[in-house]
Structure formats: structure tokens, C-alpha cells
A and B are shown apart, each in its own frame.
Chain A
Amino acid sequence: MDRRNMLKGLATVPFLGAFAIGWWRKRKKEHYKQHSLLKELNMDASAPEIPPSPSRDKTIRLGIIGYGGRGAHLVRGAGFANPELIQAWKKAAMVNPDDKRYEDFLAQEDLNVALNGVCDVYDVRAERGLLASGNAAREGTDAGVKPKARRYRTYQDLLKADDIDAVIIGTPDHWHAQMTIDAARAGKHVYVEKGMTRTLDETYTMVDAVKENGICFQLGHQGRQTESYLKAREVVKKDLLGNINLIEVCTNRNTPNGAWQYKIDEEAGPHNIDWEQFSGPYSDHPFSLERFFRWRCWWDYGTGLSGDLFTHEYDAINQILDLGIPHSAVSSGGVYHFKDGREVPDVWQVTCEYPERDLTLLYSASLASSRNRGKVIMGHDAHLELGSSLTVWPDRNSTRYAEMMKRGVIDPAKPLFNYIPGKKNVDAVSSATEAYFAGRGLLYTYRGGRRVDTTHLHVKEWIDCIRSGKQPSCNIDQGFQEAITAQMAIISYREDRKVFWDTKQQKII
């Protein structure tokens, strides 16, 4: 080959050289940024550690009290679903291959539990629960599933059963305390839905009963299992945010269902609902289907936004910051949209002061606007946005990051730190696109592993703790803080005054 051909053949190689130089320079700069930033932040890239489960040799025998929508979900978290639901999921998956509910449920870990007792004051739901109890194989309606558990007419009878070790309580809020107290005294472990209590007085009795009887108690804030919350705790511990002074949490919904106008079953009536037992000593209102199905709208049965949704937000923040009970709370709101005869407000806010922590926790909710505002923890140096993912944004007026911003290591327009559960690594400097995806909940977790229902994880933690004797993450101490905070908020609203927590006397004043 002659020299001329060779030269012409290789004439474009220098472009590759130019490319290599550009590539090397760009990579060096990015590496420096990431390296120095992660070092400065002292954040590691790993997912939060989840303790391994103890041995599951012994079967834990469960009872369910209250097999409504939420109760059914909790029982599913333990491994038992109504065959009709499975059938519907199977069908949905055939129509739409992206519908993974059936597949995910089949993949859910087997906890080695049995469902031996079902108690519900509404016959239709009790029957559904009974069918679920026989469905350990997770079959649809075509498999001829037979009930396995025994139905109990009253929860007191269920608590007397020898073949039940632990109960899941998914009833309306007005029964949470008394049922937990009775279960604890009967030596049964308890998983109870939030809000923990409806009134202040019952809160103290409930805490005492749980502690005195040494049962394993879990309160139903499944957010405790959310990976991004666990990572947020690490962010706060490592002081990435500087002096945290304001926390904003909210609820926004805008549907009748979201505003507790749940569907009223056509088949329901006084003939298949034990109204007297439902009401108990808490209400003397005559039979009402509306009150039975939409109980959250009345003070006799719950605390409205406080117990249903503020508690979730509060617990998420308490989990991250160990806030405890606020020094004071003041609350306001009203029935501004759903004028359907309800007593509880549909627009409601509460301000909790923590002077010893130099911060305010602000909760605001509307059941008639979908504008989602997320959870934001604001500090002098950075603020943290929390959802299923976690993003830390540097503050452009931060003292701590001022020098790094000057050097160009930190760009105030870009997240300082971004954590997307299921991803292999934490990005120190993540792209706008990634943040965009994460914020809209597009799923990154398909690859690292399958998505898991947090409710299942929360029930699993409780069952693991029953076996190991350890304390679950949302134990009675955490529950007490949740209950008192929610009570302070609701007392402030109903009595139209600012309330204070007396730490010495352990009382609301």
C-alpha cells in the first residue's frame, strides 16, 4: 500500500484524538465534582439497611377485627386475599400486561402465618374475610377456595380464642383503643390502624395496657417502611440541611372517595349490620348507612383529617427527625366544599411549635384541590423534598455551601443529592431529567428488584418482631407521640384555642 492511500485512509483519526481529549477533560471535571461533593456531604450511595427476618419456623396465628377496605389490605399484607379480588387482578393483567398487581402479590414473601379468626359487624365483609382466610395459595374464584377461619360475632369472643396469637385491628377509629386494651389484656399482639386513638383519655389507658402486658404492638403507619424516608433520616443526621427551621407537610385530594364519601353497598341494611355493636358506647345515633360506610365524616367515630391523614404526615416527619410531641399546637379550618352534612372539616391546618428544636411543623390539607405540595424540610443550607424519591436542593444563600458554589462544585439550580429507591447509586450531581422522572414517579425499581407494597412490609416487620421479641418501628412510644400530637390538633380545632403540652405532667393544657 502506498503512502498516499495510507494517509487518506487514516486522515480522520485526529478527530478521534480531539474527541478523546474532550472526553477526558469533561470526565475529569465531573469526577472531581462528584467526588468532592460526596466527600463533603459524607453521604454514601447504599440503600438503607433493612434488618434480616428471624427464622419463621413457628406459625403465627392471626385474627382480623374489621375486614373493610383497609382491613382487607392489611390481611393481604399478611398473605391472604379474597379470591374475587385475585380473579379481578388476574383479568386485569390479561387485558393490560403492565398491570402487575397479581404478579406482585404472588411474589410477596410468605410469612408463615394463619388467619384463624374473622370479626366484622357487617356480614358481607365477614364472609369475604372468611374466604380470604382459606386462600393461602392466593387463588382466584375458579379454584373453589373454602373458608378456613372461624367467624366471631364480637371481638371479645375472638380475643378469647386459644388458636389466635395476634390481632390486626382495621375498624373505625372509635374502637381502636378499647380493642387494643382488651387484646393486650388477653395477651394478644396487636397491629392497629392509625389514627391510634379518637379521644385523649383513652390514649393513656391504651399505652398503659400495651406496656403492662408486654405485647408486640405496631401502629399502622406503613410509611415507616418507605426507603426514601429512611434515607432522609440519614440526610438529616449528617446535617446536610443546616439549621432546620420549617417543615411543611400537606394532604391534597379532590375526589368524593378521597373526601370519605365511600360507596354505600346496595345490599347493606339493618339485617346484615350489627349497628349496636358498631356504635358501642360511643354514639347513640340511630341506624344510618351513611354513618356506617362514611364514618370518617363524624366526630363520634373519628377525628377527620387529623387521625386519617395528618397522622401519616406527622409520623413520616417524626420518623426522620424524632420530633416527639410539640410544645404547642393551633389549628383551624372548616367544611368549605363537601357540604354533605359532615361534621369534620374538609379544609384544615395545624401549626405545631417545637421551640426547643427551633422549628415549626406546618400541616395543611384540602380535600377539594389536587395541587400536590409534597413534604419539604427547610434548613438554612439546603431543603429536602420528599416523596417516593428524595431530593436535596442547596440553598443559594447557604453559609456552608457558599464557598463550594463559588468554586462551581455546587450549582444552586441542581439538586445536591438525589435518591431514587431501587437505583444502584446515589447521584451527587444528578441530571434534570432524572429528577424529573423521579418526581413523576416513573419506575426505576423494575431493574433492581420488584416493587413491594409498604403495607406488606409493615405487617411483616410486626410479625418478625413477634417472633424475635424486638420492638417494631412504629411501637407504642411512637404511637403515643402520634396520638397526643393528633389530639392536640383536634382539641385546638374543636375548642378553638391554642393548646400546650405539659411535659412534666404529661398532659395537654
Chain B
Amino acid sequence: MKYSKWQFTALLLLRILIGWHFLYEGLVKLVNPDWSSIGYLLDSKWILAGFFHSLAANPGVLNVVDFLNMWGLILVGLGLILGIFTQISAIGGLVLLGFYYLSHPPFLNLEYVLPSEGSYLIVNKTLIELVCLWVLWLFPTGRIIGIDRIIFGAKE
């Protein structure tokens, strides 16, 4: 795939910004000894609520979920910023966002305890970020600017 200079710049910028967001979300959780996804999971609504509640109910499972979420966010963040294993990072991030969206979909008639910072109807920022990662996966940039270029070779 051949990008124009501006097409490429926009894609790269998008990749770095999303990576930045993931990395910060992950690190904040890492350094807070009290952080747990329990409140978020317990607040889940819609058809998958039972699944998310069950994750919260078992302390062992909850620890695993917290660990995977925290390190998932950090690794996806680093992957996107540095362009290392960029494609896997994009998919990983997409899956994480999918979980967030499905646990708290902003549908009609669903009310959450956790306040939202904006106003959403069906579409929220999680969903938009998710689609952005899909775009990044379809229009890869890691082997142009990124450590993937060193590992897997340049693909201009």
C-alpha cells in the first residue's frame, strides 16, 4: 500500500495518540495499589452483564482480569507508540476496547452508576477508538516508521 505524505502522517499520528492513551491508562492502574476493575465490572449492564459480574465475584479471577487488563493496556500502548508488533497491538487494543464497550454499552434504557464524562447514544469514544484501531490495522504503518521496520524489514 502506498500512502501520500499526509495520509501517512495522519495514520502515524493516530497510532501514537492511541498508544499514548493506552499506556497512560495502564500505568495509572499499575501504580495505584488500590486499583481494581471490580466497581467497573459490577456496574456492567446489558446481555453480557452476568459474565462481567461473575468475573468480579471471584477474587482469584478478578486478580487475573486486573493483571491482564493493566499489562494489556501498557503493552498495547508501547506497541503502538514504538511501532513494535504493531498489528498485534492494534488487534489487542481492539479486543480490550470491545470488552469495555460491551460491558457498558450506551444504549437506551441502560443506566450506570459510574458517571460518564460526556453524552452518548449508542456511539461513545470507546467505540470510536475501537474503529480507529481497526483502521490502523487495515492501514499498517509499523514497518514504515517503527521498530517493526528493523525486525521485519521495511515495507514502503
Taking a contact as CB atoms closer than 8 A, the residue among A5, A8, A19, A442 that contacts B43 in the complex is A442
Interface-centre pick from B34, B54, B148 (highest chain A CB count, 10 A)? B34
* A436 and B16 form a contact (CB under 8 A): no
> Which residues from chain B contact A440 at a C-beta distance below 8 Å?
113
B133 nearest CB across to chain A (Å): 17
The chain B residue with its CB closest to the CB of A440 is B113
B136 nearest CB across to chain A (Å): 13
B24 in the interface (beta carbon within 8 A): yes
A438 nearest CB across to chain B (Å): 9
A430-460 CB mask vs B (1 if < 8 Å, else 0) is: 0011001100101110110000000000000
> Which residues from chain B contact A19 at a C-beta distance below 8 Å?
20, 23-24, 81
* B23 and A442 form a contact (CB under 8 A): no
A10 in the interface (beta carbon within 8 A): yes
CA distance A217 to B78 in the complex (A): 63
* B36 and A447 form a contact (CB under 8 A): yes
CA distance A98 to B24 in the complex (A): 33
> Which residues from chain B contact A423 at a C-beta distance below 8 Å?
34
A146 in the interface (beta carbon within 8 A): no
> Which residues from chain A contact B82 at a C-beta distance below 8 Å?
12-13, 16
Q: Among the listed stretches B90-98, B123-131, B139-147, which one makes contact with chain A, having 4 or more residues with CB under 8 Å of it?
A: B139-147
CA distance A375 to B125 in the complex (A): 38
* B34 and A425 form a contact (CB under 8 A): yes
Which residues of A (1-45) have their CB < 8 Å from a CB of B? 1, 5-6, 8-13, 15-16, 19, 23, 27
B38 in the interface (beta carbon within 8 A): yes
> Which residues from chain A contact B53 at a C-beta distance below 8 Å?
98
* A424 and B154 form a contact (CB under 8 A): no
* B42 and A27 form a contact (CB under 8 A): no
Interface-centre pick from A8, A23, A97, A423 (highest chain B CB count, 10 A)? A8
Which residues of B (102-156) have their CB < 8 Å from a CB of A? 113-115, 144-150, 154
> Which residues from chain B contact A411 at a C-beta distance below 8 Å?
none
CA distance A427 to B33 in the complex (A): 11
B14 in the interface (beta carbon within 8 A): no
> Which residues from chain B contact A442 at a C-beta distance below 8 Å?
39, 42-43, 113
* A8 and B154 form a contact (CB under 8 A): yes
CA distance A427 to B35 in the complex (A): 12
Q: How many residues of A contact B (CB 8 A)?
A: 30
* A15 and B39 form a contact (CB under 8 A): no
The number of A-B residue pairs with CB atoms under 8 Å apart is 79
B88 in the interface (beta carbon within 8 A): no
Question: With A15-B20, A447-B59 given, is the CB distance from A437 to B81 under 8 Å?
Answer: no
CA distance A433 to B117 in the complex (A): 11
B9-23 CB mask vs A (1 if < 8 Å, else 0) is: 000100010001001
Which residues of A (303-334) have their CB < 8 Å from a CB of B? none
The chain B residue with its CB closest to the CB of A432 is B115
The chain B residue with its CB closest to the CB of A423 is B34
> Which residues from chain A contact B59 at a C-beta distance below 8 Å?
446-447
> Which residues from chain A contact B56 at a C-beta distance below 8 Å?
446
B1 in the interface (beta carbon within 8 A): no
> Which residues from chain B contact A11 at a C-beta distance below 8 Å?
145-146
> Which residues from chain A contact B78 at a C-beta distance below 8 Å?
16
A435 nearest CB across to chain B (Å): 11
A174-209 CB mask vs B (1 if < 8 Å, else 0) is: 000000000000000000000000000000000000
B38-60 CB mask vs A (1 if < 8 Å, else 0) is: 11001100000000011011010
CA distance A34 to B43 in the complex (A): 28
> Which residues from chain B contact A97 at a C-beta distance below 8 Å?
54, 57
CA distance A5 to B83 in the complex (A): 13
* B27 and A23 form a contact (CB under 8 A): yes
* B38 and A447 form a contact (CB under 8 A): yes
> Which residues from chain B contact A23 at a C-beta distance below 8 Å?
24, 27
Taking a contact as CB atoms closer than 8 A, the residue among B23, B38, B113, B145 that contacts A8 in the complex is B145
* A5 and B149 form a contact (CB under 8 A): yes
> Which residues from chain A contact B36 at a C-beta distance below 8 Å?
444, 447
B100 nearest CB across to chain A (Å): 15
* B83 and A12 form a contact (CB under 8 A): yes
> Which residues from chain A contact B34 at a C-beta distance below 8 Å?
423-425, 427
* B113 and A437 form a contact (CB under 8 A): yes
* B149 and A98 form a contact (CB under 8 A): no
The chain B residue with its CB closest to the CB of A31 is B31
> Which residues from chain A contact B27 at a C-beta distance below 8 Å?
23
CA distance A425 to B146 in the complex (A): 41
* A433 and B149 form a contact (CB under 8 A): no
> Which residues from chain A contact B81 at a C-beta distance below 8 Å?
12, 15-16, 19
> Which residues from chain A contact B146 at a C-beta distance below 8 Å?
9, 11-12
A434 nearest CB across to chain B (Å): 8
* A443 and B42 form a contact (CB under 8 A): yes
Taking a contact as CB atoms closer than 8 A, the residue among B12, B57, B83, B147 that contacts A98 in the complex is B57
CA distance A97 to B81 in the complex (A): 42
The chain A residue with its CB closest to the CB of B148 is A9
CA distance A169 to B119 in the complex (A): 54
* B154 and A446 form a contact (CB under 8 A): no
The chain B residue with its CB closest to the CB of A431 is B32
Question: With A5-B150, A442-B42 given, is the CB distance from A447 to B62 under 8 Å?
Answer: yes
Question: With A12-B83, A23-B24, A436-B114 given, is the CB distance from A444 to B38 under 8 Å?
Answer: yes
For this complex, 8 residue pairs linking A to B, each with C-beta atoms less than 8 Å apart, are: A1-B150, A9-B150, A12-B145, A19-B23, A424-B33, A433-B115, A442-B43, A446-B59
Known: A8-B154, A97-B57, A446-B56. 8 other contacts (CB 8 A): A8-B144, A9-B150, A11-B145, A12-B12, A436-B115, A442-B39, A442-B113, A447-B38
Cβ-closest 4 pairs across A and B: A9-B150, A9-B149, A11-B145, A437-B39
